[in-house]
Amino acid sequence: MEKQTIAIGGMTCAACASRIEKAVGKLQGIVSAGVNFATEKLSVEYDANQIALPDIEKIIVDTGYNVLKANAKTSVTIPIVGMTCAACVSRVEKAVSQIEGVLSVSVNFATEKANVSYDPQKAKLFSIRAAIEDAGYKALEVQKSGAVDEHKLQKEREIRSLWRKTTVGMVFGLPLMYLSMVPMIPWLSWLPYPRIFSPMLFPLHFILMQIFLCTPIVIAGRNFYTVGFKALFRRSPNMDSLIAIGTSSAVIYSLWRSYDTIFNLNFRSVDYLYFEVAGVIVAMVLLGKALEAVTKGKTSEAIKKLMGLAPKTATVIHEGKEVEIPIDEVEIGQVILVRPGGKIPVDGVITEGHSAVDESMLTGESLPIDKNPGDKVFAATINKNGVIRFEATKVGSDTALAQIIKLVEDAQGSKAPIAALGDIVSGVFVPIVCIIAVVSGIAWYWYAGNVVLALTCFITVLIIACPCALGIATPTAIMVGTGKGAEYGILFKGGEALETTHKVDTIVFDKTGTITEGKPEVTDIVTAAGIDKNRLLQLSASAEKGSEHPLGEAIVRKAEEEKEEFLPVKKFEAITGLGIDATIEGVHIYAGNKKLMNEKSIAINELENESNRLAEEGKTPMYIAFDNKLAGIIAVADVVKKSSADAIKILRDMGITVAMITGDNRKTANAIAEQVGIDRVLAEVLPQDKSNEVKKLQAEKRKVAMVGDGINDAPALVQADVGIAIGSGTDVAIESADVILMRSDLLDVPTAIQLSRSTIRNIKQNLFWAFAYNTLGIPVAAGLLLALFNGPLLNPVLAAAAMSFSSVSVLTNALRLKKFRPKRTA
Amino acid sequence: MKKTIGKIVAGILMLGALTAYSTEEAVAALATDIVGRVAISSFSEMIDALEFPPILDEEEKLWVLSTPDGEASFWWRSEANLHRHMLDVQICFEAEPFVNAGLDLDKLPEEMKGMLEAGRLMMGKQLSQGSLVYAGEITPLSSFEQIVRLDRDSIGYHAAADHYKITVAGGLSDGWIFMWAKDMSTNAGDIVFALEPTILIGAGVDPDKVEGWTFRKVPMMDERGRNFEVDKFVKAFDLR
């Protein structure tokens, strides 16, 4: 299966998004297709054996939209020394232009600079500089310029264009509204009015003025007509269709009345001009669209912040010299130099030097971490105090930063289940609105015999019912919510995860590495009669040397501290959830929990009291048996994280049941639970049974979140309604989870839930206003109040203003999420 | 961008200045003044339909258009007003119906009593003193054309009633008004005299007792196109 994200241009409302989803979804080989109207991107999963990407792009184009290619190109200005005449110019140009991937080259003899545009995928700056040098000139240090993202540029152009059109709309719309409305509104009679446009004295002037002022606005809004009518003719009307039908009806009717005035000399027709309605509606919608585009841009600021973390260049060691190259040109295996205060450009492994590295931007850990040769470094982190050289191991889209950005981008582009309602409604909304508009128009004409009243209702229903607010209600909140999460080091893998998290009423924490630091230490060594303490430690540590279990590692560390010699292991077997089975120097060793001893029928009575005492102190007693006879107990204790108790208190205050799951014995588990304030303990649970425990909780109709870090937590993370992996955990746990906490701080768990609750509350507010606006607006626009209570009829201009600002208000509400502050103290 | 907006704003300001300083005469001369043009053509149709065409008062140099019953008349100038005391447009009407309805003549302003010796009351005004330009013979229509040319603001059109009007006193939208139908084939009142009742009622007239005149609400439109209703003494005639 292939997954692709395609940037789409030309969408104007949620109906467009739903249309593309339908068109693409119908293709054979498509597994899933979801369009995010806010990001204007299609996320599609497909079987590459059945369908190719160009086929998908073709159907998008056939449906009436554009596929925007993220065609990146880079431009550089290279100062050149040694050019003496115009011939040198053409020589340099020829040399550079022959390199594959160079799109254009222009050498200015006067400034002695070459401007080169090239595709960084095909051409490298090195080769360009080398070509200049080979031609006999000296290429000086490159003057940098940024990579150009066509999609981003297109969005910027679109916003500029929208503002330009809005300006035209406002410059012509305001005088149009003034000149056409002031004569009609008695309480505005104090306002000055040019006599030459008096509708009674000079109706033709009045008409020409309106046409003169309305025409540029209609031209500025021509996209509504080209897109709207095209969609209408395809029998799939969208928001533009509503505006196009509504305003064209107003213009056509006004033109007919103008004709009647001018050529039939029926001056009464001058009372029935609606040019200002069309003009002001278009101007208002343009203004709304411009504000919407700007506000939409703000919803993705989190991604921009993340992207801004990466440095633009890297200093590589090339043939023993330091060379600064664009970050895009760094290749795996290159050695990179970073001085104190510098940002690490790509992921890698330190080969030389020592330093402390600030990784707070990735992990949230505020203290710099000491780094030595062999340690990993990550892109965007900051080298604090030493010069280091490291070998690049991951570049471009493979770096940890790029992965995080991709994760956030994917989440922002994904849909939450709550969006489905909006999608369904907006899909059928426009045709229904068209029907309501026609029916109300006909009904009023039939009932009142008044063309103007009928036309007003027809236009107003079309204008007020534009479902744009409905389309952006969910995705914008998801974008801001996931972006805000990224700021706090909480990565939601998708809209669904963000939505489900708010429903969580039970949280199950893994103990080791989640509630505790995950770095247990040996605290007590208790021996059975006749067993030497050092011998017990030596044999146990030698046996555990091959184990990856944190408890085993603690014993190994203790033996190292005690400078015990590790003995060769003849046989080793890990018994999942129980312990290990090993043979050393002919001694058959079992090391593990009480269950293991029971299973192997090894009597533990001799040390049971000691074991209980240790467990009650929150320590984990590990039984050691030599040749099927109890040899002693090595107790290991893990330190509880500083924030665990606070996090659990906050969660309980939020009304969430907190449980702890561990393979540890019950007494130890209870002791830890007591320390952090957990009242429900699932102890002595084998790794393979963790998911069953989660299932049992789910069977109690609970929405369960599982928080864990280890490989053994993965099944439970998948089983839980929301799997939360902590960032210090294993790749498997992170892969299995729905939410990733980049830090190992449990306070991020309540933060994630609070953020999810805030986001969903925000979405519900948005949906409420979007629905309420349309469900209340349409009957009023259709004249229901007038029919029932002789109440007011909605003015089409006010409808346009309300419609435009409904989208802006929904977006503004979504942006309020940016002010989200979690409660992080108990 | 800023330049474009600047040009647009400058254009609108120029247009505004042009309209603010345009003279009535210049405006009336525009080919786009369709109301002015139709005012002349409909006035022509109206006087053609009169049983007794307008006559010239040689002494006052005013054209006189009388109602079929002879009880009211509309007067307009044929030559430049050489004597500054003269009115250029006026409405005259028989005083008797109003006296019978309680009118105390002493309470009327002097300007209304200029023709009282002939048993008539009058109300009128002077027009602008621009030069009257006749290309040919002086006729009732050519004299009316001079009013349209020089005093375009005195001529109005009321869409709801489909009437043209000339105000002889008061504002264009309200006052003492002579109206004629834009299209006599569709309009019941081809000529209408509408008297402002305030002065008359103030001088003792019981509006319900004035014979030959109807006291009623009349729909009006101001020059901005706003509709409203006012009380008037009305005398209307269908000429066809």
Q: What is the DSSP string of B140-167?
A: HHHHHHHHHHH-GGGEEEETTTTEEEEE
First to last CA, chain B: 62
pLDDT at A692 over 60: yes
Q: Which pLDDT score is estimated for A330? A: 82
Would you state the structure tokens that stand for residue B88, as one six-digit string?
């250029």
Q: Which pLDDT score is estimated for A640? A: 85
Q: Which pLDDT score is estimated for A147? A: 43
Which residues of A sit within 8 Å Cβ distance of B?
164, 167-168, 171-172, 175, 182-184, 186, 189, 193-206, 208, 261-262, 265, 267-268, 270-271
pLDDT at A144 over 50: no
Closest in A197, A262, A265 to B19, CB measured? A197
Q: Which pLDDT score is estimated for A146? A: 45
Q: Which pLDDT score is estimated for B100? A: 94
Would you state the structure tokens that stand for residue A521, as one six-digit string?
């230490």
A481: helix, coil or strand? helix
- What confidence category does residue B93 fall into, taking pLDDT thresholds of 50, 70 and 90? very high
Closest in A167, A197, A201 to B35, CB measured? A201
Interface probe, candidates A210, A261, A267, chain B, greatest B C-beta count within 10 A: A267
- Put simply, the answer to whether A195 touches B223 (Cβ < 8 Å) is yes
Interface probe, candidates B151, B179, B224, B226, chain A, greatest A C-beta count within 10 A: B224
Q: What percentage of chain A's residues is helix, strand, coil (to nearest 5)? A: 55, 20, 25
Nearest-CA distance A179 → chain B (Å): 10
Specify the DSSP class assigned to residue A158.
Answer: H
- What confidence category does residue A167 fall into, taking pLDDT thresholds of 50, 70 and 90? very high
Q: Which pLDDT score is estimated for A333? A: 85
Nearest-CA distance B139 → chain A (Å): 25
Would you state the structure tokens that stand for residue B135, as one six-digit string?
């290309």
Q: What is d(CA A520, CA A557) in angstroms, rounded to the nearest whole number?
A: 10
Q: What is d(CA B44, CA A264) in angstroms, rounded to the nearest whole number?
A: 18
In the numeric block, the tokens 């014979």 are attached to: B211
Q: Which pLDDT score is estimated for B15? A: 58
Interface probe, candidates A180, A202, A269, chain B, greatest B C-beta count within 10 A: A202
User: Do residues A385 and A356 lie in contact, with contact meaning Cβ atoms separated by under 8 Å?
Assistant: yes
Report which of residues A150 and A169 the model is more confident about: A169
Q: What is d(CA B169, CA B180) in angstroms, rounded to the nearest whole number?
A: 17
User: Do residues A713 and A726 lie in contact, with contact meaning Cβ atoms separated by under 8 Å?
Assistant: no
- Put simply, the answer to whether A267 touches B157 (Cβ < 8 Å) is yes
Q: Strands of A430-484 (E only): list them.
A: none
Q: What is d(CA A77, CA A75) in angstroms, rounded to the nearest whole number?
A: 7
* A172-202: pLDDT as tens digits: 998 998 888 787 777 777 788 887 888 877 8
Q: What is d(CA A195, CA B225) in angstroms, rounded to the nearest whole number?
A: 11
Q: What is d(CA A762, CA A820) in angstroms, rounded to the nearest whole number?
A: 11
- Put simply, the answer to whether A172 touches B8 (Cβ < 8 Å) is yes
b/e burial code for range A156-192 (CB count within 10 A of at least 16 → b): eeebeebbbbbbbbbbbbebbbbbbebbeeeeeeeee
A635: helix, coil or strand? strand
What's the mean pLDDT in A528-550?
A: 87
Q: Which pLDDT score is estimated for A729? A: 53
Q: Positive or negative, the Cα torsion across B94, B96, B100, B105?
A: positive
Would you state the structure tokens that stand for residue B122, as one six-digit string?
């009058």
What's the mean pLDDT in B91-112?
A: 92
- Put simply, the answer to whether A183 touches B226 (Cβ < 8 Å) is yes
Nearest-CA distance A468 → chain B (Å): 28
Q: Report the Cα A546 to chain-centroid distance in Å.
A: 41
Q: What is d(CA A119, CA A56) in angstroms, rounded to the nearest whole number?
A: 25
Q: What is d(CA A16, CA A151) in angstroms, rounded to the nearest whole number?
A: 19
Q: Which pLDDT score is estimated for A72? A: 57
Closest in A189, A196, A208 to B19, CB measured? A196
Nearest to A822, CA basis, from A584, A363, A481: A481
Q: What is d(CA A336, CA A356) in angstroms, rounded to the nearest whole number?
A: 17
Closest in B22, B38, B152 to A265, CB measured? B38
Could you tell me which residues come within 8 angstroms of residue A462 by beta carbon, excluding any fewer than 6 positions away?
A242, A243, A245, A246, A433, A434, A437
* H helical segments located in A26-146: 53-62, 86-97, 125-134
String of DSSP letters for A353-407: --EEEE-HHHH---S-EEE-TT-EE-TT-EE-SS-EEEEEEE-GGGSHHHHHHHH
A680 φ/ψ angles, rounded to the nearest 5 degrees: -120, 115
- For residue A297, with 0-12 CB atoms within 10 Å meaning exposed, 13-18 middle and 19 or more buried, which class applies? middle
**A–B interface: beta-carbon pairs under 8 A:** 88
Nearest to B204, CA basis, from B96, B94, B101, B103: B103
Max avg pLDDT among A148-162, A397-411, A416-430, A603-617: A603-617
Element spanning A167, H or E: helix A150-181
- Put simply, the answer to whether A182 touches B182 (Cβ < 8 Å) is no
The β-bridge partners of B166 are: B155, B178
Q: What is d(CA B214, CA A322) in angstroms, rounded to the nearest whole number?
A: 106
* A235-253: pLDDT as tens digits: 777 778 888 888 898 898 8
Distances (CA, A) of A674 to A620, A669, A824: 15, 8, 21
Max avg pLDDT among A110-114, A676-680, A797-801: A676-680
Work out the mean pLDDT of chain A and round it to a whole number.
83
In the numeric block, the tokens 């002791």 are attached to: A671
Closest in B4, B5, B159 to A268, CB measured? B159
- What confidence category does residue A750 fall into, taking pLDDT thresholds of 50, 70 and 90? very high
- Put simply, the answer to whether B224 touches A271 (Cβ < 8 Å) is no
Neighbours of A797 (CB within 10 A): 24
A48 φ/ψ angles, rounded to the nearest 5 degrees: -65, -15
Q: Which pLDDT score is estimated for A715? A: 84
Q: Provide the annotated active-site residues of A.
A: 510
Q: How many residues does chain A have?
A: 826
pLDDT at A36 over 70: yes
String of DSSP letters for A724-791: EEETTS-HHHHHH-SEEESSS-TTHHHHHHHHHHHHHHHHHHHHHHHHHHHHHHHHHHTTHHHHHHS-
pLDDT at A467 over 80: no
ipTM: 0.74
Would you state the structure tokens that stand for residue B220, as one six-digit string?
């009006």
User: Do residues A233 and A220 lie in contact, with contact meaning Cβ atoms separated by under 8 Å?
Assistant: no
pLDDT at A733 over 80: no
Would you state the structure tokens that stand for residue A635, as one six-digit string?
């107790």
CB-CB neighbors (< 8 A) of B224 in chain A: 182-184, 189, 193, 198-200
CB-CB neighbors (< 8 A) of A175 in chain B: 12
How much of chain A, in percent, has pLDDT values that exceed 70? 91
CB-CB neighbors (< 8 A) of A168 in chain B: 8
Nearest to B33, CA basis, from B157, B214, B138, B142: B157
A225 φ/ψ angles, rounded to the nearest 5 degrees: -80, -45
What's the mean pLDDT in A619-631?
A: 91
Q: Which pLDDT score is estimated for A730? A: 58
pLDDT at B143 over 70: yes
Could you tell me which residues come within 8 angstroms of residue A265 by beta carbon, excluding any fewer than 6 positions away?
B34, B38, B182
What's the mean pLDDT in A737-751?
A: 87
Question: If DSSP states are collapsed to H, E and C, what string results for A380-393?
Answer: CCEECCCCEEEEEE
Q: What is d(CA B28, CA A57) in angstroms, rounded to the nearest whole number?
A: 62
User: Do residues A622 and A592 lie in contact, with contact meaning Cβ atoms separated by under 8 Å?
Assistant: yes
What's the mean pLDDT in A87-96?
A: 80
Q: What is d(CA A537, CA A626) in angstroms, rounded to the nearest whole number?
A: 12
Nearest to A584, CA basis, from A553, A620, A541: A541
How much of chain A, in percent, has pLDDT values that exceed 90? 18
First to last CA, chain A: 46
Distances (CA, A) of A7 to A18, A62, A65, A208: 15, 15, 10, 43
What's the mean pLDDT in A463-486?
A: 80
pLDDT at A325 over 50: yes
Max avg pLDDT among A101-105, A323-327, A737-741, A788-792: A737-741
How much of chain B, in percent, has pLDDT values that exceed 90? 36
Report which of residues A802 and A354 the model is more confident about: A354
Would you state the structure tokens that stand for residue A761, as one six-digit string?
């509350």
* B175-228: pLDDT as tens digits: 899 999 988 887 778 899 999 999 999 999 999 999 999 999 888 877 676 778
Write the Ramachandran bin of A632: left for phi over 0, alpha for psi from -120 to 50, otherwise beta.
Answer: left
- Put simply, the answer to whether B33 touches A204 (Cβ < 8 Å) is yes
Q: Which pLDDT score is estimated for B11? A: 62
Q: What is d(CA A323, CA A140) in angstroms, rounded to the nearest whole number?
A: 12
Element spanning A659, H or E: strand A657-661
The β-bridge partners of B179 are: B165, B192
Q: Which pLDDT score is estimated for A625? A: 94
- What confidence category does residue A508 fall into, taking pLDDT thresholds of 50, 70 and 90? very high
- For residue B7, with 0-12 CB atoms within 10 Å meaning exposed, 13-18 middle and 19 or more buried, which class applies? exposed
User: Do residues A623 and A633 lie in contact, with contact meaning Cβ atoms separated by under 8 Å?
Assistant: yes
Would you state the structure tokens that stand for residue A475, as one six-digit string?
């995705």
Task: Write the single-letter amino acid at B189.
Answer: G
- What confidence category does residue A413 fall into, taking pLDDT thresholds of 50, 70 and 90? low
